[in-house]
């Protein structure tokens, strides 16, 4: 009997042998793949995490070319393209017929929140410092992430009436329970992020040339001034002017002597550029619809089936997709302005005088965008050439901050002399005489100076001119100031659709 | 489960042990060695084909060595859970089953119901197949020799048009499309080339030879075998062949009264040529043979014919293979392809086996520890010369030599403690156990370009290469581990009332942190009615029992690390002077709740024996699979790069299975038996999350999917338009209007299909599609008839399916110049000519006649196939005794002698991969074979 006992014990012991390792035995990591849980350890990984948030600036290229959207919305361009079905999401903005299902909403909502998530994740992962990495570095990365987060929220709050305010990555339990914040709460967060970031970020003049394109102190300040200005609180106009003033007087900044040079891809990060969304031709990728490093808006605005004649190099285009044709009224409005030739490509006159040919696209007017026109001289010679234009998009430039400071001063009723000087400086660069610094004059100048750069719709909305100026596009006051919340974020969630779209 | 009163004491393998047949509570099918006698069984699963109701074995193709798709009780998961194979207690991946010889196998058991399969927990949802190999037997050494040899040929050819007809049809299609006449004198081309004849082999050899030895003493026994199997493919034999050499050694030793050890070991070497695609219209040999124009000659008669490229392929005698100037893309001269690839091959060396120790401190207490697994090495050798097949398919820059080297190991370590306890008439058996499983694998492929060689034989990796001419890539398997605890109680009272209870607790590295372990319980009862006291012996019913069981099974048959959040490249941004920086973000949020797919099943079975000779088994079941993996759609504000995997969708299945066996000894010399089985199963999706439907399989040149699944509909369903005849005249087009008078098909022309407006909205849109039929056969059946008269034996075995459709996509639609099947001769050419085959057109198919997925492509997939017909003669014992031979038998046999079907493709038996069932893209047909064989035992 004793022997039996021994054997039984041995048996039981062997039986438990395989179990002693328990749960740890199953705890394995994938080979050759970094995990979210063990990433964010090295300087390279931190940078890669930060760049992920930057990558959302251009909406990763792909089909979400947001400039087609902004220019569809305003009174400078139509959507255009091949047909009414081409980029139907933006066409819906052109006619103010957007719904939660069809329209531009998702093209902004998803990439912006993707950028916010990536910024949130980085801030969460490195917010308390990373062992072995200098705090100065993590603090700068956090400041950049906050600036980007504020930028994305600012875009969202301009486009949507109420949105969820998410400042750290959501737990699975929160995926479907998030609710919307007030507009004030969102703006407060934007201002907080930008104020904190501006205190940490280096000025552009102190940044190495290899760092150009990264968030600078002036980026944060300019965005902060804009965020305050856009809230239309007249009592805070002086505050807004103060932030613009910091940018406008920062070392190393000056208007480009030649208007045309601002948009030249060989003149990136010029003295006028405050916030620049970068692109490159060097990747030569042909990954349609996914990660594109070139600027897709460039090929999008080119005349369709274009063949050139005897035009000069600044008007020799690559055949494009004929998006964003300039509305004739706007072209007429600009006629006579010295900036016309750098802003609008009068392709019909090239046909008439130089023997160029093209196929009129949808909503063709004969006028095309010149600031980002696909010039043959910028075209890469290998790879998927049409997707790899090197032109950067300048999100904020000095002429813009000059005029916003002028506007804020006029609205505050303070320092009108400086307001006039700022406005005059913008006009003088293109050889125009001084005009009084009235709001009308400033808005008029913005329209001419910043044409097709994606500011017009915002300006019309925030100054209350949209209902009149966009009546011809079916704009409905009290509704089309905002986009509907996309259906995909309403399904199974606690979000409530803008009542105007219900 | 074939049952008769005499065999009630037979034992059945149930996983980690055996039970008497009379106390089996579940639905377990058992195939014994004697059932496989005389069969040609290249792979073990083939032995199950048509043998048992509810186990469907569909050959993926007729290419030598190909595995079959094994389905137990219908589709278990949309993610394709596959049955678990366990060989001598060690789980083995299904693809590796070809290391087993038929004569090594003692029995194959299939655990069909969840109550039985629960003992394998999270690997059991799709059923379990237990394979037991032969062990030694005490006594004289017995030698068995089994040998056969035969020739194979295709059962049938596709009906394709000849060169004259091709030219004529193309002219017509071109004119219909607004083009001109292409061939001015069609009849000048005669019959042209029969490409199928060129690639088919009508006398492809097949042979199998096995020798086994079995013997031992009271304390030590062994079983050993050697096997050689060699099958040449019936398609492009030069590049389609499978050869296998196996060696097995099993031994068992009783060291002490209480201590036994033993082992199983197998080595298998496989060499195969697999350059013929099995079911792929982008493939090489078969799709080319189907789609190439018959005008192009197989070879040019003139050696000095001018060819467009210096590397056009020549045969051994220097004659160029024909180059088609009509059909391009992937279609190339299959003979040229064979010539270029004839030496390339794959190989594998498999070492598999197990060792065990059993300690029995008491007669009824046993502890058993088993360690086993498989170590495999495999690779490929390929030489690519300079060649030119067509303007798009060529290699004219550098030759290359490619070598692949891969290896993998899987092992299982299991420990069990079992105890039998008997008190009065109560019998208890308790089993407790633990198990771990682990594995890893890696591989490397290297290419040397521009080597000094003209063939694989001359190619060598000893040559020194410049770095730029060497490229290489490799991989590692992701880790996958399992840790399990399990227990089972078997109880019976006087062989009347039987109970089996199982609990298995499985942990897997594939589950998220919140669900590392899953529990898989089951319970089943059996009532042997005929053992009751009230049962009166009668002449009609000899035995009757009822079984009822319920169990929970799991599947972790999905990729590793689906629960985790892997960092991935998400584009980038440029800083400074065009410096590109890459961004990394989580691919998708992690899902710590990710767990197994859960299948529950209830089974009710009745077994009865009537009139001593007729036994009947009937089983019905209902199974529900929940928590099937799908991607969870997250709202955009979460900001995720991709949606995470989650346990979302569910489906149900139910079915009925019937096995009938009749066995009669008519007199001393004459015995007959008949076995039939029949199964019906159906399933439907009950939840697919936020999705309206999921599409499966696409069709060339069509924007519509071929199959989809959606809630309330079965999995494996063809989806498309319904045709309603053909417009014979323009008047018919004009008069096909909706209730407002609007034309439904304003762009149609006479000769085009009339589409049904299924949703009645007055227009023909993508919404006018519906369920066109099942891609997976709901009905399956098999019949075996055997007779023995004196020394002669006769066996016929057939198997079939019904109720399904096959999508016939053998013609390359996106290549309008492709050759036509003979059905095209019956196309519409004018009013009254055809109401089912539309006009031919080269150019835009405005009406979608050929580019819409519709019932036009579907054919009845039912078939009955005579799998085996065999006649044998055993030499008389009186003669054999003189030469000390126990048994000597010669036989002739034919496999796939004929197939009854309405299907017009090569072969109605189309397995298909996950999600792509029942689509014929030029499937490699199964061979018809005639063989002679010899079995000797002494």
Q: What is the pLDDT at residue B4?
A: 42
CA-to-CA distance for B687 and A491, rounded, in angstroms? 17
Tell me what the mean pLDDT of segment A318-337 comes to. Answer: 96
Question: Sorting pLDDT into bands at 50, 70 and 90, what band is B453?
Answer: very high
CA-to-CA distance for B233 and B275, rounded, in angstroms? 11
Contacts of B512 in chain A (CB under 8 A): none
Q: Read out DSSP for A379-436?
A: --SSSSGGG---PPEEEEEHHHHHHHHHHHHHHHT--HHHHHHHHHHHHHHTTPPP--
B577 at A interface, C-beta within 8 A? yes
End-to-end CA distance of chain A: 82
Residue B187 scores a pLDDT above 50: yes
Residues in B 450-479 with any Cβ partner in A closer than 8 A: 476-479
B64: its two tokens: 């030598």
Instruction: Quote the strand ranges of B764-874, DSSP E.
Output: 770-774, 779-789, 792-802, 805-808, 858-860, 863-874
Q: What is the pLDDT at residue B8?
A: 44
Residue A11 scores a pLDDT above 80: no
Q: What is the pLDDT at residue B913?
A: 64
Contact B367 A14 (CB under 8 A): yes
Question: pLDDT tens-digit profile of B355-414?
Answer: 999 999 888 999 999 999 999 999 999 999 999 999 989 999 999 999 999 999 999 999
A412: its two tokens: 């505050």
A298: its two tokens: 């460039």
Q: What is the pLDDT at residue A365?
A: 96
Contact B583 A49 (CB under 8 A): yes
Do B842 and B179 meet the contact criterion of CB atoms below 8 Å apart?
yes
B391 at A interface, C-beta within 8 A? no
Question: Sorting pLDDT into bands at 50, 70 and 90, what band is A132?
Answer: very high
Contact A293 B569 (CB under 8 A): no
CA-to-CA distance for B824 and B839, rounded, in angstroms? 9
Question: pLDDT tens-digit profile of B411-450?
Answer: 999 999 999 999 999 999 999 999 999 999 999 999 999 9
Closest-CA distance of chain B to residue A389, Å? 12
Residue B197 scores a pLDDT above 60: yes
Q: Of A293, A390, A492, which has the smallest distance from its Cβ to B572's Cβ?
A: A293
Mutation target vs B (from A6, A8, A11, A106; most B CBs, 10 A cutoff): A11
Residue B473's beta-bridge partner residues? B445
Q: Which residue of A has its CA nearest to B581?
A: A51
Residue B929's beta-bridge partner residues? B152, B895
What SS3 state is found at B104? helix
Mode of pairing for the β-strands spanning A344-346 and A367-369: antiparallel
CA-to-CA distance for B18 and B25, rounded, in angstroms? 12
Question: pLDDT tens-digit profile of A159-176?
Answer: 999 999 999 999 989 999
* Contacts for A328-333: CB closer than 8 Å, 24+ residues apart: A328/A365, A328/A367, A329/A75, A330/A75, A330/A76, A330/A77, A330/A451, A331/A365, A331/A367, A333/A447
Q: Which residue of B has its CA nearest to A172?
A: B591
Do A354 and A309 meet the contact criterion of CB atoms below 8 Å apart?
yes
B935: number of Cβ within 10 Å: 20
CA-to-CA distance for B412 and B482, rounded, in angstroms? 9
Contact A7 B575 (CB under 8 A): no
CA-to-CA distance for A343 and A320, rounded, in angstroms? 17
Q: Of B482, B576, B633, which has the smallest distance from its Cβ to A209's Cβ?
A: B576
B365 at A interface, C-beta within 8 A? yes
Percent of chain B with pLDDT over 70: 98
Question: pLDDT tens-digit profile of B480-516?
Answer: 999 999 999 999 999 999 999 999 999 999 999 999 9
Do A66 and A156 meet the contact criterion of CB atoms below 8 Å apart?
no
Q: What is the pLDDT at residue B92?
A: 87
Q: Which of A175-184, A297-306, A352-361, B55-64 has the lowest mean pLDDT?
A: B55-64
Residue B1 scores a pLDDT above 50: no
CA angle, residues B433, B436, B440, in degrees to nearest 5? 160
Mutation target vs A (from B571, B579, B647, B692; most A CBs, 10 A cutoff): B571
Contacts of B636 in chain A (CB under 8 A): 106, 109-110, 113, 486, 488-489
Q: Which of A8-12, A235-239, B95-99 has the lowest mean pLDDT?
A: A8-12
Question: Sorting pLDDT into bands at 50, 70 and 90, what band is B5?
Answer: very low
A232: number of Cβ within 10 Å: 12
Q: Read out DSSP for A168-187?
A: SPPPGGGTTT--PPPHHHHH
Residue A199's beta-bridge partner residues? none
CA-to-CA distance for A113 and A118, rounded, in angstroms? 9
Percent of chain B with pLDDT over 90: 78
Residue B261 scores a pLDDT above 80: yes
Question: Sorting pLDDT into bands at 50, 70 and 90, what band is A367?
Answer: very high
Closest-CA distance of chain B to residue A426, Å? 27
Q: Which residue of A has its CA nearest to B640?
A: A114
Which secondary structure element, helix H or strand E, spans residue B508, and what is its range?
Answer: strand B497-508
Residue B900 scores a pLDDT above 70: yes
Q: What is the pLDDT at residue B3?
A: 40
Mean pLDDT of chain A, nearest integer:
92
Q: Which residue of B has its CA nearest to A121?
A: B585
Residues in B 697-756 with any Cβ partner in A closer than 8 A: none
B432 at A interface, C-beta within 8 A? yes
Closest-CA distance of chain B to residue A335, Å? 36
A308: its two tokens: 């050139």
Q: Which residue of A has its CA nearest to B689?
A: A492
Could you give the C-alpha distances from B782 to B447, B866, B867, in angstroms and in order?
48, 10, 10
Which residue in the block uniquely carries the two structure tokens 């072995």? A132
CA-to-CA distance for A250 and A273, rounded, in angstroms? 12
Structural domains of chain A, ranges and CATH numbers in brackets:
41-200 (1.25.40.890), 232-278+392-470 (1.25.40.390), 296-389 (no CATH)
Contacts of B574 in chain A (CB under 8 A): 213, 278-280, 293
Residue A368 scores a pLDDT above 50: yes
Question: pLDDT tens-digit profile of B848-898?
Answer: 999 999 999 999 999 999 999 999 999 998 899 998 899 999 999 999 999
Contact B633 A491 (CB under 8 A): yes
A117: its two tokens: 């998530």
Closest-CA distance of chain A to residue B422, Å? 18
Residue B933's beta-bridge partner residues? B148, B891
Residue A16 scores a pLDDT above 60: no
CA-to-CA distance for B228 and B816, rounded, in angstroms? 46
Question: Sorting pLDDT into bands at 50, 70 and 90, what band is A386?
Answer: confident
B834: its two tokens: 């055809």
Q: What is the pLDDT at residue B275?
A: 87
Mutation target vs A (from B481, B579, B639, B645; most A CBs, 10 A cutoff): B639
CA dihedral B692→B694→B695→B697, nearest 10 degrees, is: -170
Q: What are phi and psi of A321, to 5 degrees?
A: -115, 5
Contact B575 A28 (CB under 8 A): no
Closest-CA distance of chain B to residue A179, Å? 11
Contact B637 A178 (CB under 8 A): yes
Mutation target vs A (from B637, B648, B687; most A CBs, 10 A cutoff): B637
Q: What is the pLDDT at residue B35?
A: 80
Residue A62 scores a pLDDT above 60: no
Tell me what the mean pLDDT of segment A118-129 comes to. Answer: 95
Question: Sorting pLDDT into bands at 50, 70 and 90, what band is A22?
Answer: low
Question: pLDDT tens-digit profile of B730-748?
Answer: 999 999 999 998 999 999 9
Mode of pairing for the β-strands spanning B579-586 and B597-610: unpaired
Cα–chain center distance at A414: 31
Nearest to B524 by CA among B555, B486, B493, B488: B488
CA-to-CA distance for B639 and A227, rounded, in angstroms? 23
Contact B639 A7 (CB under 8 A): no
Q: Of B478, B571, B690, which has the smallest distance from its Cβ to A291's Cβ?
A: B571
Residues in B 250-289 with any Cβ partner in A closer than 8 A: 258
Contact A55 B573 (CB under 8 A): yes
Residue B845 scores a pLDDT above 60: yes
Q: What is the pLDDT at residue A19?
A: 53
Could you give the C-alpha distances from B147 to A459, B208, B887, B933, in angstroms and in order?
89, 6, 14, 5
Q: What is the pLDDT at residue A434?
A: 96
Closest-CA distance of chain A to residue B578, Å? 6
Contacts of A48 in chain B (CB under 8 A): 567, 581-584
Contact A486 B636 (CB under 8 A): yes
B415 at A interface, C-beta within 8 A? yes
What ipTM was reported for this prediction?
0.93
Please, how many CA atoms are within 13 Å of residue A467, restricted to the half-sphere of its CB?
A: 5
Contact B574 A208 (CB under 8 A): no
**Residues ≥6 apart with Cβ < 8 Å to B493:** B425, B426, B427
Residue A66 scores a pLDDT above 90: no
Contact A39 B365 (CB under 8 A): no
Contacts of B589 in chain A (CB under 8 A): 169, 172
Question: pLDDT tens-digit profile of B521-557?
Answer: 999 999 999 999 898 888 889 999 999 999 999 999 8
């Amino acid at each position: 009997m004793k022997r039996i006992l021994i054997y039984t014990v041995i048996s039981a012991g062997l039986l438990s042998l395989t179990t002693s390792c328990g749960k740890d035995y199953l705890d394995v990591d994938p080979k050759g793949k970094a995990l979210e849980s063990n990433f964010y350890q090295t300087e390279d990984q931190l940078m890669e995490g930060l760049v992920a948030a930057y990558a959302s600036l251009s909406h990763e290229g792909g089909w979400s070319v947001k400039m087609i959207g902004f220019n569809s919305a305003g009174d400078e361009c139509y959507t255009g393209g091949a047909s009414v079905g081409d980029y139907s999401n933006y066409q819906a903005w052109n006619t103010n017929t957007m719904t939660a299902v069809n329209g531009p909403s998702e093209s902004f909502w998803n990439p912006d929140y993707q950028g916010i998530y990536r910024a949130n994740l980085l801030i969460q992962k490195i917010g308390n410092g990373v062992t072995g990495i200098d705090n100065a570095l993590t603090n700068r990365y956090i400041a950049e992430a906050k600036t980007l987060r504020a930028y994305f929220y600012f875009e969202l709050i301009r486009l949507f009436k109420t949105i969820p305010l998410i400042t750290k990555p959501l737990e699975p339990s929160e995926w479907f329970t998030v609710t919307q914040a007030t507009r004030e709460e969102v703006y407060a967060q934007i201002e907080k992020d930008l104020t904190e970031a501006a205190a940490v970020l280096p000025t552009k003049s102190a940044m190495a040339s290899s760092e150009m394109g990264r968030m600078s102190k002036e980026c944060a300040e300019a965005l902060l001034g804009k965020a305050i200005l856009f809230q239309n609180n007249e009592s805070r106009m002086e505050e807004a002017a103060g932030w613009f003033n910091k940018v406008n007087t920062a070392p190393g900044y000056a208007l480009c002597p030649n208007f045309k040079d601002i948009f030249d891809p060989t003149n990136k990060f010029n003295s006028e550029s405050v916030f620049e969304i970068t692109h490159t031709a060097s990747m030569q990728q042909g990954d349609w619809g996914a990660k594109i490093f070139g600027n897709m808006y460039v090929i999008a605005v080119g005349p369709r089936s274009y063949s050139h004649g005897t035009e000069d190099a600044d008007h020799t285009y690559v055949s494009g997709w004929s998006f964003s044709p300039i509305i004739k009224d706007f072209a007429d409005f600009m006629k006579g302005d010295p900036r016309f030739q750098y802003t609008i490509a009068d392709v019909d006159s090239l046909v008439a005088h130089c023997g160029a040919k093209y196929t009129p696209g949808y909503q063709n007017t004969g006028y095309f965008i010149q600031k980002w026109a696909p010039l043959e001289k910028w075209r890469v010679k290998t790879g998927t050439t049409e997707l790899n234009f090197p032109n950067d998009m300048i999100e904020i430039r000095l002429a813009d901050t000059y005029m916003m400071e002028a506007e804020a001063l006029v609205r505050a009723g303070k320092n009108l002399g400086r307001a006039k000087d700022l406005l005059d400086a913008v006009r003088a660069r293109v050889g125009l005489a001084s005009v009084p610094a009235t709001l009308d004059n400033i808005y008029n100048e913005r329209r001419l100076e910043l044409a097709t750069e994606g500011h017009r719709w915002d300006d019309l909305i925030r100054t209350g001119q949209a209902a009149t100026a966009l009546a011809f596009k079916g704009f409905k006051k009290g509704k089309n100031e905002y986009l509907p919340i996309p259906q995909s974020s309403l399904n199974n969630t606690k979000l409530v659709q803008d009542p105007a779209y219900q | 489960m074939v049952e008769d009163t005499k065999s009630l004491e037979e034992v059945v393998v149930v996983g980690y042990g055996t039970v008497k047949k009379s106390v089996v509570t579940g639905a377990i099918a058992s195939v014994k060695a004697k059932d496989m006698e005389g069969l040609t069984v290249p792979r073990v699963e083939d032995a199950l084909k048509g043998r048992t109701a509810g186990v469907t074995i569909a050959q993926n193709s007729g290419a030598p060595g190909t595995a079959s798709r094994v389905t137990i009780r219908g589709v278990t998961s949309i993610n394709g859970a596959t049955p678990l194979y366990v060989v001598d207690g060690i789980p083995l991946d299904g693809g590796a089953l070809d290391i087993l010889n038929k004569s090594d196998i003692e029995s194959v058991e299939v655990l069909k119901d969840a109550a039985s399969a629960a003992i394998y927990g999270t690997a059991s949802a799709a059923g379990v197949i237990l394979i037991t190999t032969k062990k030694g037997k005490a006594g004289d050494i017995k030698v068995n020799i089994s040998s056969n040899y035969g020739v194979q040929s295709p059962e049938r050819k596709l009906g394709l048009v000849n060169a004259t007809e091709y030219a004529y049809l193309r002219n017509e299609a071109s004119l219909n499309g607004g083009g001109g006449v292409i061939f001015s004198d069609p009849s000048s081309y005669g019959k042209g080339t029969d490409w199928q004849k060129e690639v088919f082999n009508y006398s492809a050899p097949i042979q199998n030879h096995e020798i086994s030895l079995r013997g031992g003493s009271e304390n030590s026994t062994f079983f050993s075998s050697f096997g050689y199997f060699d099958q040449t493919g019936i398609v492009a034999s030069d590049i389609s062949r499978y050869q296998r050499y196996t060696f097995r050694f099993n031994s068992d030793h009783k060291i002490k009264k209480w201590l036994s050890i033993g082992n199983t070991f197998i080595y298998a070497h496989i060499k195969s040529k697999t350059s013929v695609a099995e079911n792929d219209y982008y493939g090489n040999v078969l799709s080319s043979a189907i789609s190439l124009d018959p005008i192009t000659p197989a070879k040019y008669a003139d050696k000095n014919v001018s060819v467009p490229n210096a590397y056009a392929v020549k045969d051994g005698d220097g004659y160029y293979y024909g180059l088609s100037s009509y059909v391009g893309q992937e279609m190339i001269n299959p003979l040229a392809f064979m010539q270029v690839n004839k030496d390339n091959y794959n190989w594998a060396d498999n070492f598999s086996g197990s060792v065990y120790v059993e300690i029995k401190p008491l007669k009824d207490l046993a502890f058993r520890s088993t360690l086993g697994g498989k170590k495999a090495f495999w690779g490929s050798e390929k030489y690519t010369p300079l060649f030119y097949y067509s303007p798009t398919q060529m290699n004219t820059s550098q030759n290359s030599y490619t070598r692949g080297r891969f290896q993998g190991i899987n092992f299982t370590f299991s420990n069990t403690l079992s105890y039998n306890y008997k008190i009065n008439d109560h019998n208890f058996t308790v089993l407790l156990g633990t198990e771990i499983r682990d594995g890893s694998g890696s591989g490397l492929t290297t290419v040397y370009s521009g080597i000094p060689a003209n063939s694989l034989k001359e190619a060598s990796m000893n040559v020194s290469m410049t770095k730029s001419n060497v490229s290489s890539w490799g991989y590692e398997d992701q880790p996958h581990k399992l840790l399990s605890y399990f227990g089972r109680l078997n109880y019976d009272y006087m062989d009347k009332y039987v109970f089996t209870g199982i609990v298995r607790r499985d942990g897997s590295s594939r589950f998220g942190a919140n669900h590392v372990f899953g529990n898989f319980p089951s319970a089943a009862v059996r009532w042997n009615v005929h053992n009751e006291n009230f049962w009166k012996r009668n002449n009609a019913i000899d035995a009757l029992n009822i079984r009822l069981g319920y169990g929970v099974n799991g599947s972790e048959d999905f990729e590793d690390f689906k629960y985790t959040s892997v960092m991935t490249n998400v584009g980038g941004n440029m800083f400074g002077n065009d410096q590109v920086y890459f961004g990394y973000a989580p691919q998708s949020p992690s899902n710590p709740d990710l767990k197994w797919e859960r299948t529950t099943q209830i089974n009710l079975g009745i077994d009865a024996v009537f009139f001593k000779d007729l036994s009947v088994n009937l089983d019905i079941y209902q199974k529900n699979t929940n928590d099937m993996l799908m991607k969870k759609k997250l709202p955009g504000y979460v900001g995720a790069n991709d949606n995470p995997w989650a346990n979302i969708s569910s489906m149900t299945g139910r079915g009925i299975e019937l096995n009938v066996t009749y066995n009669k000894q008519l007199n001393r010399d004459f015995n007959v038996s008949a076995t039939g089985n029949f199964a019906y199963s159906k399933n439907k999706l009950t939840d697919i999350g936020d999705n309206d439907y999921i599409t499966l399989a696409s069709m060339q040149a069509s924007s519509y999917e071929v199959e989809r699944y959606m809630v309330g509909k079965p999995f494996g369903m063809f989806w498309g338009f319904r045709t309603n005849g053909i417009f014979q005249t323009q008047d018919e087009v004009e008069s096909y209007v909706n209730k407002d008078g609007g034309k439904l098909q304003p762009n149609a022309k006479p000769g085009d299909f009339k589409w049904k407006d299924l949703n009645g909205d007055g227009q023909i849109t993508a919404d006018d599609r519906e369920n066109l039929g099942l891609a997976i056969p709901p009905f399956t059946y098999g019949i075996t008839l055997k007779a023995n008269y004196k020394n002669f034996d006769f066996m016929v075995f057939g198997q079939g399916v019904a109720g399904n459709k096959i999508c016939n996509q053998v013609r390359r639609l996106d290549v309008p110049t492709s050759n036509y099947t003979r059905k095209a001769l019956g196309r519409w050419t004018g009013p009254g000519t055809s109401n089912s085959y539309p006009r031919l057109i080269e150019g835009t198919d405005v009406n979608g006649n050929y580019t819409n997925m519709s019932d036009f492509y579907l054919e009845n997939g039912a078939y009955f196939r005579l799998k085996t017909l065999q006649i044998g003669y055993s030499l008389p014992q009186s003669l054999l005794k003189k030469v000390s031979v126990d048994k000597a038998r010669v036989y002739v046999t034919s496999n796939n002698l004929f197939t009854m079907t309405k299907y017009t493709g090569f072969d109605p038996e189309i397995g298909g991969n996950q999600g792509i069932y029942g689509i014929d893209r030029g499937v490699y047909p199964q061979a018809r074979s005639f063989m002679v064989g010899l079995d000797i035992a002494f």
